[in-house]
Structure formats: C-alpha cells, structure tokens
Amino acid sequence: MSSRRQFLTAAATVLGAGALSACNKKEETASVAASAQEKITWKMVTSWPANFPGLGTGAIRIADYINQLSGGRLTVKVFAAGELVGALEVFDAVSAGTAQLGHSGAYYWKGKSRAAQFFSSVPFGLTAQEMNAWLFYGDGMKLWEETYQPFGLIPGAGGNSGTQMGGWFNKEINSVADFKGLKMRMPGLGGEVIQRLGAIPVNLPGGEIFTALQSGAIDATEWVGPYNDQAFGLHKAAKNYYAPGWHEPGTTMECMMNEKAYNALPADLQAIVKAAIRLVNHDMLAEYTARNQLALHELETQHGVKAKSFPDDVLRELKKLSDAVLDEEAAKDPLSQKVWASQKVFRDSVAPWTAIAEGAIINARKL
C-alpha cells in the first residue's frame, strides 16, 4: 500500500508539472501571437510638398509598402514639408524621435556632418546605377551608417531621380563670365562650385523656388528634371533650360530611421521597413526615367522650352573647380575624407565599364 501511495503521488506530481508546463507554453504562444498582432503607428516627415510627383509620392509609396507588407501591424503616416516640421528640419525631427522616419536628401545636412553630403550626389560624381552599386556592393552603406550613428539615425537609400538637369536661367549661359553675380538656388557642393565662378548660391526648399524665381529674388535655379520642374511650373518663370546636371549626376534620396524606434521593432517588421525602402529606391529611378522624357516633350512642344547644353568650356571649368572643391571639402573632416576616398576610387574604377556599356550603346544608337 505504501508503494502504491508513493507511485500515485509521483504520478500526480509529474502530471501536474506537465500540465503547468503546457499551460506556460500556451501562455508564451499567446503572448507571442499578441505581440505579433500589436499595432504600431509611426510618423514620417519629408522635405517635399504634399503629394509632389516622384519625391513626395515616393515617400508615400514607402509608407504604403510598409503598411501592406506588415498586414497593418505597422502603419506609417506621412507628413509633407511644413505639416509637422519644416522641410529642412527633417534630420533633427527623426534624430529627436519626433518622427520615426524621414524622407529627404542627405546634402541638406552639411551643417550636421560634412560627410552627409557625399551620400546624395556630388558634382561629376556617380550616376544612379553607379551610386547604388557603391552603396550596396561597395563601402557606401557602411560609411553612411557610420556617419549617422552619432545622431541616433539609421540611413536608407530611399530613391534616385537619376541625372538631373543643369537648371533654369533668366539669361543664356554662353561663357563662364555669365555666372558672375548670378543668384542661383543650388544647395550642397554644387553651390560651392558656382560660388567660385562668382555666382551667389542660395539654399531654398522646393516649395519656395517658383516664387523666388518669378519675383527675381533669384536669377536661376536647379531643381530636379523635366518631370518635377514642370510640376512646379518653372517654365513659366524662365525659359533657358540647360543640361547636363553636372552637379547631381545621380541623386540618391534618403529614408532615415530613428535608431531606437527601429530597434524596438520585432525582427520581421525591421526587415519589412528596410525592404520597403530599398524597393522604392529602385522603383523611383524607373519612374523618373519614364516620366522625364514625357515631361520634356510637353515642355518643348506645348510651352516653347528648348533644352540647351552648357558650352564645353563652361563644363571644363566646372569640372576643374568641382575636383578642387571635393578634395578641399573632404580634407576638412576625417570622416568626409574617408567617404570621399572610397567613392572616388569606386567612381574611377567603374568608369571604364560605364563608358563601354551605357556610354557605348547610347553613342551607337545615334549611328
């Protein structure tokens, strides 16, 4: 009888432990399921006017992909420039956690870090294809992350507008002398270059460009290319439209993340956020390639605009000054020097392939 009681007691203990273990596992499973269904809302601030073609809609597309791919678990609300913060306050807002995402251009943040501007576009630098190659298969993203880490930010390449136009001018550009005294909206390193030609660079957010050009507050402006320039109506304020966009041969847009907010996400949502950003990075270039040629045709046939080319001697001088500005700018800061050295080596190494591939076929199509 004693042995039987001991057996029953032991069996009850084992069964009880098993039941408790099963109960704990159910609770853990329920907890994981509940966590998986948790609804998270993020804010994205941008430097673009509401629903602006390409740039603004690209930011919206990132938010839409995140919403869809997460099954609604992570919802992103997009704010245009001025709705939550100003166009040039995006960096600070995401760094401070006011918003979890920010869509803008890295060259706006020279005042935060000199190295930042090298991740957007530099004069006579990488094309869109080359820039993506450096970022994702060179040292680019690693260096970008290093640049933004002190600010609690994680960078992401969030689009590319391709090679831009050289800009709209209220007079013809026939020589280097025509830049002297010219007030031109041109941010970043391009602005440094034209300043050496005697021009006066002005940094304005997109929403203020048309009024400034129309009123005479500025004499010239670059923006993006036919698709976006037509949307702003810049052809109504100036008729001299020049190519190429020597200052921005392949402009990367950024979608930065607040590091703490990103790290708080479960792993699958982290992957979804990064995938959505990278998807739009490639999608935006396709959109600009398709839309720019349609917009240019309309500008020429319906609005009397004729795209002109900068004279060769002007481009040669711009190239010479650009080389000097880039080297001098990089030398002011160890991190900038490291970033520019990496990008410059990549540019020089990839140039022969670009010339024999894209360059050669473009020339062959003219035969």
Query: What's the pLDDT tens digit per position in 114-150?
Result: 999 999 999 999 999 999 999 999 999 999 999 999 9
CB 359 within 8 A of CB 163: no
The three-state secondary structure class of 107 is: helix
- In angstroms, the CA 317 to CA 298 distance is 32
Q: Could you state, in order of their start, the residue ranges of all structural domains in the chain?
A: 38-158+251-288
Average pLDDT over residues 312-326: 97
CB 254 within 8 A of CB 120: yes
Q: What's the whole-model pTM score?
A: 0.85
Mind listing the pLDDT tens digit for each residue in 151-173? Answer: 999 999 999 999 999 999 999 99
Q: What is the fold of 38-158+251-288?
A: D-Maltodextrin-Binding Protein; domain 2 (3.40.190)
Average pLDDT over residues 284-298: 96
**Within a 10 A sphere around the Cβ of 346, how many other Cβ atoms?**
21
- Estimate the crossing angle of helix 334-354 against helix 140-148, to 10 degrees: 160
- In angstroms, the CA 277 to CA 42 distance is 15
Average pLDDT over residues 174-181: 97
Confidence bin at 344 (pLDDT 50/70/90): very high
- In angstroms, the CA 300 to CA 227 distance is 13
Query: What percentage of the chain reaches a pLDDT higher than 70?
Result: 90
